[in-house]
Structure 1
Amino acid sequence: MKLSVAPLICCLLIPAAYADDNGGLKKDAAPPPPHALDDGYRGAEDARIMTIKQAKEMHDGATISLRGNLIDDQGNDKYIFRDKTGKIDTIIPKAVFDGRTVEPDQMISINGSLDKKMTPPVVRVDHIRK
């Protein structure tokens, strides 16, 4: 039984065509207005989620959990995150997205640490949950 090389090569190249999407922020939709940010989310985790205003008052290196929207991609893994109390700069490596895409109108949770040595302070994100 002879096998042709061409079908074998095609089978190996098909998965590469589906791997083009690397995740990150897609700016197809506009973020919701700040006053509508807690619509639709209730649960026991509300007690552990803090606001950006509270996070900015914490000490350097503090563990941060925020719920809101990624609204802008500034390049080099830098993004702007917003909740109902304000905005904060974040650093989110591509590996944290794990191939998932986030749109500005999607409510997400981020976990990370506060870096107050940078001006303005930033959150170094190590986990995203949609």
Structure 2
Amino acid sequence: MRHTVSTWTAATLLALGAATVAIAQPAGYTGPSNAPKAAVQGTYSGPSNVPLMTVKQLLDTGRDEQPARLQGRIVSFEGNERYTFEDATGRIIVEIDDEDFPAGQTVSAEQRVELVGEFDKGLRKTEFEVDRVILLP
């Protein structure tokens, strides 16, 4: 009986692992995952006191954990929820969780977006942690 339980457990874990792989972000930049999400959340669309900055301003004067907004394009997927973001003043690595992309919409490298988030300035890495991606016209 112990062999049957072990076989069943191994088969179950293998099946769960396969399901996890099926919903992972694909290699290359193609925008957000099309995997189903648990729930669709509404978002606030009114005015904000979070400053709109350029990449250059953020890199030159930004403080660790400073909230900011950036406008430009996500130009490439680097893996592990990291993307390269670009505006007219420069580029920065941004971290975007799948659920922070607009629900039900694909973001291409040509689409202008606004990123709302927090600057992460460390000794070994500098990046922008995104809380929300907003599509711009």
TM-score range relative to shorter protein = 0.5 to 0.7
1:116 partner amino acid: K
Q: Which runs of 5+ in 1 are unaligned?
A: 1-19, 28-43
In the aligned structure 2, how far is the partner of 1:104 from the partner of 1:118? 29
Does structure 1 residue 54 correspond to structure 2 residue 84? Answer: no
Residue deviations 1:15-53, cap 9 Å, x none? xxxxx9x8xx527xxxxxxxxxxxxxxxx99xx421000
3-state SS, counterpart of residue 127 of structure 1? strand
3-state SS, counterpart of residue 77 of structure 2? strand
Structure 2 partner of 1:119: 124
In the aligned structure 2, how far is the partner of 1:72 from the partner of 1:118? 24
* Structure-to-structure mapping, 1:76-95, within 5 angstroms: 76-95=80-99
1:109 partner amino acid: E
In the aligned structure 1, how far is the partner of 2:123 from the partner of 2:107? 25
3-state SS, counterpart of residue 54 of structure 1? helix
1:66 to 55, 63, 70: 70
Say if 1:105 and 1:58 are closer, same or farther in 2 by CA, change over 3 A.
same
Q: Which runs of 5+ in 2 are unaligned?
A: 1-22, 32-46
Structure 2 partner of 1:109: 114
In the aligned structure 1, how far is the partner of 2:55 from the partner of 2:123? 16
Q: CA deviation at 1:118?
A: 5.8
Residue deviations 1:52-102, cap 9 Å, x none? 001112110000100000000011100000000000000000111134211
Question: Percent same amino acid among aligned pairs?
Answer: 29
* More contact order relative to length (CA 8 Å, sep ≥ 6): 1
1:51 partner amino acid: T
